[in-house]
Amino acid sequence: MRILAIETSCDETAAAVVENGQRVLSSEVASQVELHARFGGIFPELASRQHVLAIEPVVARALADADIEEPAELDAVAVTCGPGLVGSLMVGVNAAKGFCLGSNLPLIGVNHLVGHLYSLWLETDRALGCDWRDLAFPHLSLIVSGGHTELILMHGHGSWERLGGTLDDAAGEAFDKVARILGLGMPGGPAIQQAASQGNPAAHDLPYPLRRDPKHALDFSFSGLKTDMLHRCRRAGLDPDGENNGVPPEVVNDLAAAFQARVAELLLDRLETAAILHSARSIGICGGVSANALLREQALSRFAGLGLPLRIPPLAWCTDNAAMIGAAAWFGRPVRFEPDHGLDLDVAARLPVA
């Protein structure tokens, strides 16, 4: 079964063709990062306009790369219908509906977060850690993206529960905001990683949010950490709007390294607690922040120490892409999603994963 998948929930216009939920025949991603960089964040109206311009060529390239000449060579069209920026989601959903109208293919709406979960099942030999075949249930996944930080326990395909998540900012959002006050620009995660690689994480003793709060043993909080970073940056002479004011790079690098190390520690501590509490048989980390080199390296050694198979997708499947949407549509078919959402599929800015 071949699915054409479309993803436009945020600032990437993406299309892919995925066979049987796992084999990626093609994957195209047109990033808008440069377009939004000068605004210091994503400008929603601009994002939807850019999706309108990019969607047709991106879909055409995905089809051509997969050697699909006729829609009849496909079995369904999957599209992200939420959560995300409504204007952006609408471009993808309407493009998918148009494709279905012209081809008589069924339309499958996919939750973007479920897409991230299923990025772990994409067939690849470049993923970090175990093979997808070793992802035994109950499987525990940490979704860490720009908009979400969620701990999900999967009992089987299409069957999962949310164990916890962030009480305030998402981890990726914290990376982006801290990068901004450090004057490192967008996208924040890679910029902090780069600066941190030259810094000393022990230079600052940052707070550990929710350390002794049994009610929130599986939740996260990043806003206090972000505020603490803001105060440290001010004391170092940095301007919160990103002005460097001649502060030496070593100062910025140490702050970035301490922040990155603390976030990685917070994420992995919660993941480990949840794994033990719920007797998980395999672990996954997915979403944009799972591209972080320190997090990947530490996760690998921590879960190897616990004897638990861990999988983190290759970098291309960590950040937003359409291949994961094709995977989620295929795996979710029999259980969670209507096989055919029809042309009345709507978009939703908020759409819980469970």
Partner whose footprint covers residue 193, from ligand KG4, Zn ion, none (CB < 5 to 8 Å by kind): ligand KG4
Rounded to whole angstroms, the Cα distance separating 280 from 99 reads 40
> CA 300 → CA 10, 127, 220, 305, 314, distances in Å?
29, 12, 21, 9, 13
Please count the other Cβ atoms lying within 10 Å of the Cβ belonging to residue 158: 15
Report, in Å, the least distance between residue 334 CB and ligand KG4. 26
Q: Which two three-digit tokens encode residue 126?
A: 């470049």
Partner whose footprint covers residue 106, from ligand KG4, Zn ion, none (CB < 5 to 8 Å by kind): none
In the block, tokens 């861990």 appear at: 310
Report, in Å, the least distance between residue 191 CB and ligand KG4. 8
Which span (184-192, 262-270, 319-327, 331-339) binds Zn ion, by CB under 5 A?
A: 319-327
Q: Which two three-digit tokens encode residue 82?
A: 């939420």
- Mask: binding to Zn ion, 139-158, rule CB under 5 A, as x and -? ------x-------------
Strand pairing category for 149-156 and 310-312: unpaired
| Contact residues for ligand KG4, defined by CB under 6 A | 10, 145-147, 172, 175-176, 187-190, 193, 287-289, 291-292, 319-320
Rounded to whole angstroms, the Cα distance separating 141 from 37 reads 30
Number of residues that bind Zn ion (CB under 5 A): 2
Report, in Å, the least distance between residue 276 CB and Zn ion. 27
Q: In whole angstroms, how large is the CA radius of gyration of the chain?
A: 20
Partner whose footprint covers residue 291, from Zn ion, ligand KG4, none (CB < 5 to 8 Å by kind): ligand KG4
Report, in Å, the least distance between residue 85 CB and ligand KG4. 10
What residue type is assigned to position 206 of the chain? L
Q: Residue 88, interface with Zn ion (CB under 5 A)? A: no
Give the CB-nearest residue to Zn ion: 145
Report, in Å, the least distance between residue 10 CB and Zn ion. 7
Q: Residue 176, interface with Zn ion (CB under 5 A)? A: no
Q: 246: which residues sit within 8 A by CB, 6+ positions away? A: 237
Q: Residue 320, interface with Zn ion (CB under 5 A)? A: yes
Question: What is the dihedral angle through the alpha carbons of 13, 19, 24, 26, rounded to the nearest 10 degrees?
Answer: -50
Binding positions for Zn ion, rule: CB under 5 A: 145, 320
